[in-house]
Amino acid sequence: MIISGKDLSARMKAEMAEEVKQLSEKYGRAPHLVVVLVGDDPASVSYVTGKSKASEALGIRNTTIRKDVSISEEELLGVIDDLNNDPGVDGILIQLPLPKHINSDRVIAAVRQDKDVDGFHPLNVADLQLKRPCTLPCTPMGVMLMLKEAGIDIQGKRAVVVGRSNIVGLPVAKLLLDANATVTIAHSRTKDLASVTREAEILVVAIGRPKFITADMVSEGTVVMDVGVNRDPVTGKLCGDVDFDAVAPKASVITPVPGGLGPMTITCLMRNTIDLFRRHQGE
Ligand code: NAP
């Protein structure tokens, strides 16, 4: 079964558009997402454009603040301070990566926790660890929604997450653990990775290596969630971390790239924006 993130996204967006309409009528303004973009990296510009279009389609107000790559850390912190203090702003997203002269950790920590729409703030990370209600990072949230969409009963399953980044691998592993899977986290120093991934009943891959997971690394019937977004070095087309054509026949469920977890990430960002708006209205 190929699980389309596009289809699930479309359904979630239709529901959210209705929700935003009702909330805007009730509270006299729409949820407001502000994206801060430093510099003009083409990939970042394209992600920001995608977020802006998705917001508009749902009736969410979107502001993109563009700053020159030469902006100082202090100036950027000043921009965030203003947004933190603006009661008309619900979500603040700092488009990463930031230029090297800016300390990203410091900038992320400067966003107010209740406006941290990406779920990257240290207090949100801590709340996730402590199983407290929090804003979840969007891609891990997308993985969990796709598993739900596929009707996967996670409890008791052996899950392997390949990749241990703060934004994808680690939070996905925690969410799977909280859903009572038995979780293994693999990474670039894992010995005999194939023997680890073959143990997986649920395999989540977030490493950033085109078509790295081959058919021999996956057991029959595995549920495969491919987070990777890469360019195929041969065709130049978008591809995942999983060799889709080779792995799909063995997998019971698999997500495609493109059209899998990518659309879900933006949809979850919209979800988080609406949830923060609700919180700011005292709901
Ligand atoms: P990252 O910060 O670069 O982390 C990559 C992780 O993969 C690291 O933990 C690294 O291990 C591990 N790794 C690298 N090579 C490996 C190998 N050969 N074997 C086993 N593990 C290996 O990347 P990320 O930000 O998590 O992103 C991962 C992928 O997901 C990228 O393709 C990115 O574009 C994509 N992504 C997609 C979305 C979406 O919306 N769909 C969102 C975010 C990211 P070490 O820790 O040992 O270095």
Query: 3-class DSSP state for residue 79?
Result: helix
For ligand 1, mutation pick of 188, 189, 271 (most atoms within 8 Å of CB): 188
Segment 130-156 mean pLDDT: 97
The atom number, within ligand 1, closest to the CA of 260 reads 41
- Give the distance (Å) from ligand 1 centre to CA of residue 206: 4
- Give the distance (Å) from ligand 1 centre to CA of residue 86: 35
Cα gap 278→135, rounded to integer Å: 13
As given in the structure block, the two tokens for residue 142 are 């997308």
Instruction: Output the pLDDT for position 247.
Output: 98
The residue whose CA is least distant from atom 17 of ligand 1 is 188
Dihedral angle sign, alpha carbons of residues 19, 271, 267, 2: negative
Out of 13, 90, 115, 118, pick the active-site residue.
118
| E-only strand ranges, 59-213 | 61-67, 91-94, 158-162, 182-186, 202-205
Instruction: Output the pLDDT for position 126.
Output: 98
Residue-wise pLDDT for 175-186, tens only, equals 999 999 999 999
Angle, helices 261-280/42-58, rounded to nearest 10 degrees: 60
Pairing of strands 32-38, 61-67: parallel
Question: What is the residue-averaged pLDDT of the chain?
Answer: 97
Cα gap 81→21, rounded to integer Å: 29
Residue-wise pLDDT for 106-125, tens only, equals 999 999 999 999 999 999 99
Segment 38-63 mean pLDDT: 96
Give me Rg for the CA atoms of the chain.
Answer: 19
Beta carbons within 8 Å of 135's beta carbon, 6+ residues apart: 116, 117, 118, 119, 121, 124, 272, 275, 276
As given in the structure block, the two tokens for residue 55 are 């917001």
- What is the number of other CB atoms lying within 10 angstroms of the CB of residue 74? 8
As given in the structure block, the two tokens for residue 139 are 């891609």
Say if residues 35 and 47 touch (Cβ distance below 8 Å). no
Instruction: Output the pLDDT for position 110.
Output: 98
Instruction: Provide the CA 218 distance to its chain's centre, in angstroms.
Output: 24
Residue-wise pLDDT for 227-249, tens only, equals 999 999 999 999 999 999 999 99
Cα gap 71→61, rounded to integer Å: 25
